[in-house]
Structure 1
Amino acid sequence: MKWYSILLVGALAHGTVLAADKPNIIVILTDDQGWGDLSIHGNKALSTSNIDRMAQEGARFDRFYVSPVCSPTRAEFLTGQHHTRCGVYDTSAGGERVNPDKMMIGELFKRAGYKTAAFGKWHSGMQYPYHPNARGFDEFYGFCSGHWGNYFSPILEHNGQIIEGNGFVVDDFTERAMKYIEQHQDEPFFVYLPYNTPHSPMQVPDRWWNKFKDLELTQDHPKREFEKVDHTRAALAMCENIDWNVGRLLAKIDELRLAHNTIVLYLSDNGPNGDRWNGGMRGRKGATDEGGVRSPLFVRWPARIEAGTKIPQICSVLDLMPTLAEMAGVEVAEKMPLAGVSLAPLLYGNSSDWKERTLVHHWKGKVSVRTQRHRLDHEGRLYDIAEDPGQTKAVNNKVPEIADAMRKVADKFRSEMLVNYGKEFDDRPFVIGHSDSIFTQIPARDGIGHGNITRSNRFPNDSYFQNWTSLDDSITWNCEVGETGTYLVELFYTCPKADIGSTIELSFRGNVLTGKITEPHDPPLMGMEHDRFKRKESYVKNFNRKVLGKIQLKQGEGTLQLRALEIAGSKVMDFRLMLLTRVD
C-alpha cells in the first residue's frame, strides 16, 4: 500500500446512518479567502459573525490544508484523490479538467439516493464528460470557468443552457441553493456551493464596500509594505458579503427545521489572493508555504457534533470525501482508492487512536511537506511551525533527522506522483456532442488563435479573441465529436457597423458551415465600472448571440476551425464563444 493512499472499504466504523435518517449536506467553498479573512481567526478589520457562529456551534479545525490554487483543491475535494492523479495541472485551457474515470462526490451521493446540486464556480471542466451535470450533479447553475469577468447579472449557465444571472453572483447562487433546498426538503440533499469570491475582479455591492472603502487597516503583518490597501478592503468587503449569505442559508435551514440533521461545511480553496493579514504566516495563494495552503474548516452537525469541538490535528481537503461518506452512511466501493482518511473520529471526539500524519503540498513543481509540528519548504528548509509560523528561522541543523526524513518524503512524492505530470503530456481533446448532452460550449478560452489573432488578456479563463484582420487568421480547437449528428451553431461576438459583412467558415473533418456577420454590435468594454481595484484579468463585453446555421459533425477526433473567407472591413469580429446544440 502506497504511503499516500488508503482504501476506504466495507462497513463504516462510526455510527452508520439509517436511510430514513440520512443527513443533508451543504458544502460551502470560497475562492481565494485566506485563513485570516475571518473574525474568528483574529482579523479585527471585519466581522464574519454568521461563519463564526457556525464554527462555535460545531467543530473548528486548527490546521486544515488545501492546495495552493483553485482547481487542484476542487479536484481533491470532489474526488478524494490527489490532483496529480486527476489530470489537473493548470487552472485554464484544459488543465483544470478532472479525468472522467474519477468518481466525484456528487455521483457517490447521487447513487446513495441523494438529490445533488452545485451552484457557483465549477472549475473542473466545461464540456461533457467534465461538466458538473456529467459528474453526479443533477442541478447546476453558475459558470465552469476558473474566473468570471463580471459579477453583476452576468451570463451564466443552467444545466448547459446559457442564461443571464440575477444580481450579484454570490447572492444569486445562494438564492438558487435556498430554493433548491426548499424544493427538496423532504429528501436527503447534497448541495455544493462553490462561491467565486473574494477572487478577482474585486467587485462587491455598495452595501459592503461602503463600510471598507475608507477603513484604516491597523493589523501588522510581514508583507505590510507590499499590501495593496484597496485590494484588501475589497476582499474583506467580499468576505462580509459571503458571511451575510451564509447567514441567509443557515436561517433557511432553521426555517425549514432541517438544521439538526444537516451537515454544513465551510472551507476555502487556497491562501489569500493578496498580501494582507493572515495570522503571521508566510505565503499566499500559489505558494506551498503555510499561508498558501492553510484553510478554515468548520463542520456543523447538531445531531452528532458537539458544539465547541476543536481539532488540532493536521487534516486535508483529501479527507472530506471519506469523512462525509462515513458520516452519511454512504459506502465507498473497495476499488475506489482515496488519498485521505475519515475525520469522523475527530469530529465525534474519538481521537485516542488517531495516527500521526504527513501531508504533501504541490504546485508548479514546488513540493512542501507538513507534519504535525514541522514544515519542509520547497527549497528543503525545515521550520518549526508551532514556534515559527512565519517560517523565518530554519531548524535543519537542530533536528537533522527530521529534516532528512521529510526530505525523503518530498523526493518520493516527486518520483512517484510527478511522473508524466503536466501539460506536455496532456493530449485530451475537448469533446463536442457527447452522447449524454445536447449542449456544448466552445469558448475562446479553450481555443488557439493563429496569425494576427490575440487574446484580450494573458489569463485565458474569461477572455475573448480579437485583432482578426487577415484571411490567414484562424481559431482552432483540438476536438472529439462524441456523437454524429446535426448541430445548431450559435456565435457570441461583437462587430462595429463599419466591419459587418465578413463571411466566416466553420469546418470539422470535411464538413463545413458558412455564414455572414450581418448585425452590428459594438458595445463598450465593461467591468471597470464595478471594480474596486484595477484588475489584471480581461474586461468583458455584452456579446451578441447569433445563429450561424447548422453543421453535420462526424464522430471522431479532429481540428475544429473557424476562419474568414471574406473580410468586409478592417476586421472580422471579436469572438467569445460558440454554443453547439444537437438538433437531430
Structure 2
Amino acid sequence: MHTFLRLFLQTALLMTAGLSQAAVTPPKPNIILIYADDMGMGLLGCYGESLVKTPNIDRLAEQGVMFTRCYSSQYCCPARASLLMGVHDSHSKSYSETPGGLVITAEKQGWSNEEFEQKAARRAGIKPTPQEVFLPEMLKKAGYVTAQFGKLDWGFTTWHGELQRHGWDHYVGYMDHVRAHGYYPSFLWKNGERLPLEGNTHADAGKTPENYSQGATEKRRGNREGKVTYAPDVMLRETLKFMEENRKKPMFIFFSTNLPHGPVDILPAENVYAGNPEIRKAYANASGGNKECGAAAEEYASMVDKLDRQVGAIVAQVHKLGLEKHTMIIFASDNGHEIYYRTDKGRGRGLDYHGGVVDKNGELLDIFRGNRGKVGLKNAMVNLAGLKWTNHEGGIRVPMIVSWPGTLPHGKVCHGLVANYDHMATFADLAGVRMPEGKDAVSYKNMLLGKPGKLRDYIVIDHTIITGDGWKLTMKNGQWLLFQISRDPEERNNLAEKQPKQLERLQAIYKKEAGSPRKDR
C-alpha cells in the first residue's frame, strides 16, 4: 500500500510539474515589427535625445532589451529587401530596385487597377526563384496571419501580385515609395483595391518642398487645400482594426511607417513643438538664425512625437486585447538619421561630420544630434560619423528595441552584433519553424534571453564588413578604410596602414562576400 501511494504521489508530482511548465512556457507569440523611416538612434530619449520626447518608445526599452550594435542599410530599399529576404544587401543580383513614381503617373493618367498592375509587374527586374522564401511567407506557413501597413515591401514600386507572392494576407499603404514622401495621398492601397482618403486631392500625396526661404513656413502651414487626411492616421487605424479582428490567431504585423521621413509635414493641430522654447533657443545660432529652418525643425520634432504616440497606441491595443504576455514588439529603423530641416544637409554626409560643431562660429548642423547614440560598453554618448546615404556609423547603425513582458528581461542593454536581416532567423525560432536554406540571417533569440549561444563573427552591410570583435572595413574612392569601432566608434582613425594583419583578415571576408552570388543560386 505504501509503495502504491508513493508511486501515485510521484506520478501526481510529475504531472503537476508538467502542467506548471506548460503554464509558464509562452505560446507561439504575436510578432509586431515597427519599422521607422530614417530614424537614427539619437532621436530617441532612451538613446540620449533630450529635445524631442519619446516616452512610449522609451518605455519599450525600459520594459525590454535595447541594442547598441544593430546595423541596417544606408537607405530604405536595400534595408527592407534584406529584412524581408533574410540576406545581406551586398550579394550580386539579389533583389530588384524598381523605379518609383508609378502610382503618381497612374493617378494623373487615370489608369485602372489592372493597368497599374500590369505596368508595375513589367518594371520588375530580378524575378524571385521558386525556392526563394520571404519572411511573411515563412511565417504564414507556420500558421501566422500576416499583415503589412505603411511603405509596402521594398519598392520603390510594388504591386498586388508581388505582395501576394511574398506572403502577405493583408496590407494597407503605399505601393510607391516616392509617393510615400507625401502624407496626403488621395488613396492608399488595401489588398489590391484603392482606399480613398477623404479630402485629399494630390497625385504626389501633397509632398512639401524642402524650401526654407522667407515665407516658406507660411506657405507650408497655410496651404491646406487637398490636404485633409493624414495617411499615417489611416494606417494606424487599419492596424488596430486588424489586431482586433485577428486577436485569436498568431499575428505577424509589419508596421512599416513613413514617419518621420521628410519633407516635414504634420497636421497643424498636431504640431505640438511649434514655438517650443528649447528648440527655438537651440536654433538661435543654427543656420545663421534662419527662422524658416527653425520652424521646420519644430514640425520635424512633431513628426517624431506623432510616431511615438502611434507606438503607444499599438502597445495600448495589445494590452486592451489582453495579449501583452503573448506579443513581442520590436522597434527598429531602416537606416540612420537624415536632416530634413536644412538646405545644407549635404555637409553631414562625410566622415568629417560627427553631429556636432561644423564651423568656426560654433554652429550645429543638426540641433537634435540624430546620429548620436549610446554605443559603448559604458553606454556613453557618442557622435557617430555621417548620416543616411552613407555606410558610416551614423548612416547604418540603427536603434533596435525588443519588448516582451513576462519573457524578456527589463531594462537590459545588449551590445551583441545584429543585422536587420537577422529578424528572419529569430522569427523562425519563435515560430518553431526551420529556417529556409540559402539565407544569411542568424537568430538573436539567445541574446534576448541572456542565454549562451554562437555569436556572429561578422555582418555585411552595404559592401562593408563589421566584425563581432569590433572592427570595420569598407572601401571609399579606391581606398581601404579600417576602423576599430569598439574603441573608435566615431571613425576618426583609419588603421589600414597601421594594422596590416587586421586589414588582411577583413579583406578576405570582403572579397568573399561583396558582390557574391546568393548561396541558393
Normalised TM-score (structure 1): 0.62
1:186 aligns with 2:193: no
Equivalent in the alignment of 1:247: 312
Contact kept, 8 Å, 1:112 with 1:330, in 2: the verdict is yes
List per-residue Cα deviations over 1:528-558 (Å, max 9, x = no partner): xxxxxxxxxxxxxxxxxxxxxxxxxxxxxxx
Equivalent residue letter for 1:204: I
Identity %: 26
Equivalent residue letter for 1:311: C
Gaps of 5+ in 2: 1-20, 101-122, 199-228, 340-347, 349-365, 373-382
Contact kept, 8 Å, 2:149 with 2:256, in 1: the verdict is yes
1:298 aligned residue (397, 401, 404): 401
Distance (whole Å) between structure 1 residues aligned to residue 459 and residue 283 of structure 2: 30
Contact kept, 8 Å, 2:273 with 2:301, in 1: the verdict is no
Equivalent residue letter for 2:151: K
Equivalent in the alignment of 1:175: 237
Contact kept, 8 Å, 1:289 with 1:368, in 2: the verdict is no
1:56 aligns with 2:62: yes
CA RMSD of superposed structures (Å): 3.3
Equivalent residue letter for 1:309: K
1:235 aligns with 2:304: no
CA pair 206-86 structure 1, distance change in 2 beyond 3 A: farther
Distance (whole Å) between structure 2 residues aligned to residue 417 and residue 80 of structure 1: 15
Q: How does 1:25-44 map to 2 (within 5 A)?
A: 25-44=31-50
Equivalent residue letter for 1:200: G
Contact kept, 8 Å, 2:426 with 2:443, in 1: the verdict is yes
1:310 aligns with 2:310: no
Q: Which moved more, 1:150-159 or 1:120-129?
A: 120-129
1:162 aligns with 2:194: yes
- How far has the Cα of 1:34 moved from its partner? 1.4
Contact kept, 8 Å, 1:55 with 1:299, in 2: the verdict is yes
Equivalent in the alignment of 1:112: 142
Distance (whole Å) between structure 2 residues aligned to residue 194 and residue 82 of structure 1: 19
Equivalent in the alignment of 1:82: 88
Equivalent in the alignment of 1:400: 500
1:377 aligns with 2:383: no
Distance (whole Å) between structure 2 residues aligned to residue 211 and residue 395 of structure 1: 43
Equivalent in the alignment of 2:447: 346
Equivalent residue letter for 2:510: A
CA pair 258-210 structure 1, distance change in 2 beyond 3 A: closer
Distance (whole Å) between structure 2 residues aligned to residue 182 and residue 161 of structure 1: 22
Contact kept, 8 Å, 1:262 with 1:301, in 2: the verdict is yes
Normalized per residue, which structure has more strand?
1
Equivalent in the alignment of 2:384: 281
CA pair 210-128 structure 1, distance change in 2 beyond 3 A: closer
- How far has the Cα of 1:127 moved from its partner? 5.4
Q: Which moved more, 1:105-114 or 1:311-320?
A: 105-114
User: Secondary structure of the residue that 2:461 maps to in structure 1?
Assistant: strand
1:388 aligned residue (488, 503, 508): 488
CA pair 412-16 structure 1, distance change in 2 beyond 3 A: farther
- How far has the Cα of 1:282 moved from its partner? 1.0
Equivalent residue letter for 2:395: G
1:136 aligned residue (164, 167, 170): 167
CA pair 346-383 structure 1, distance change in 2 beyond 3 A: same
Equivalent in the alignment of 1:325: 428
1:358 aligns with 2:458: yes
Equivalent residue letter for 2:175: C
User: Secondary structure of the residue that 1:376 maps to in structure 2?
Assistant: strand
Equivalent in the alignment of 1:47: 53
Q: How does 1:496-575 map to 2 (within 5 A)?
A: none
Distance (whole Å) between structure 2 residues aligned to residue 399 and residue 415 of structure 1: 25
CA pair 16-150 structure 1, distance change in 2 beyond 3 A: farther
List per-residue Cα deviations over 1:184-209 (Å, max 9, x = no partner): 11111111110012222321122443
Equivalent residue letter for 2:328: I
Q: How does 1:425-504 map to 2 (within 5 A)?
A: none
Equivalent in the alignment of 1:337: 438
Contact kept, 8 Å, 1:107 with 1:135, in 2: the verdict is yes
Contact kept, 8 Å, 2:73 with 2:461, in 1: the verdict is yes
User: Secondary structure of the residue that 1:113 maps to in structure 2?
Assistant: coil
Distance (whole Å) between structure 1 residues aligned to residue 52 and residue 517 of structure 2: 40
Contact kept, 8 Å, 2:92 with 2:518, in 1: the verdict is no
Distance (whole Å) between structure 1 residues aligned to residue 505 and residue 294 of structure 2: 41
Q: Which moved more, 1:388-397 or 1:248-257?
A: 388-397
Number of positions where the alignment pairs a residue of Structure 1 with one of Structure 2: 398
CA pair 261-415 structure 1, distance change in 2 beyond 3 A: closer
Distance (whole Å) between structure 1 residues aligned to residue 125 and residue 149 of structure 2: 18
Distance (whole Å) between structure 2 residues aligned to residue 138 and residue 47 of structure 1: 35
Distance (whole Å) between structure 1 residues aligned to residue 244 and residue 325 of structure 2: 16
- How far has the Cα of 1:244 moved from its partner? 0.3
Equivalent in the alignment of 1:368: 464
Distance (whole Å) between structure 2 residues aligned to residue 251 and residue 233 of structure 1: 27
User: Secondary structure of the residue that 2:188 maps to in structure 1?
Assistant: strand
CA pair 285-90 structure 1, distance change in 2 beyond 3 A: farther
- How far has the Cα of 1:377 moved from its partner? 3.1
Contact kept, 8 Å, 1:265 with 1:297, in 2: the verdict is yes
Distance (whole Å) between structure 1 residues aligned to residue 22 and residue 274 of structure 2: 47
List per-residue Cα deviations over 1:74-128 (Å, max 9, x = no partner): 1111111223366435462557977364321111111121111111111435555
CA pair 135-16 structure 1, distance change in 2 beyond 3 A: farther
Distance (whole Å) between structure 1 residues aligned to residue 289 and residue 502 of structure 2: 34
Contact kept, 8 Å, 1:91 with 1:146, in 2: the verdict is no
Q: Which moved more, 1:246-255 or 1:207-216?
A: 207-216
1:92 aligns with 2:99: yes
CA pair 49-397 structure 1, distance change in 2 beyond 3 A: same
Distance (whole Å) between structure 2 residues aligned to residue 19 and residue 129 of structure 1: 38
List per-residue Cα deviations over 1:236-286 (Å, max 9, x = no partner): 321111000000110111111101110111110011122531111112111
CA pair 258-405 structure 1, distance change in 2 beyond 3 A: same
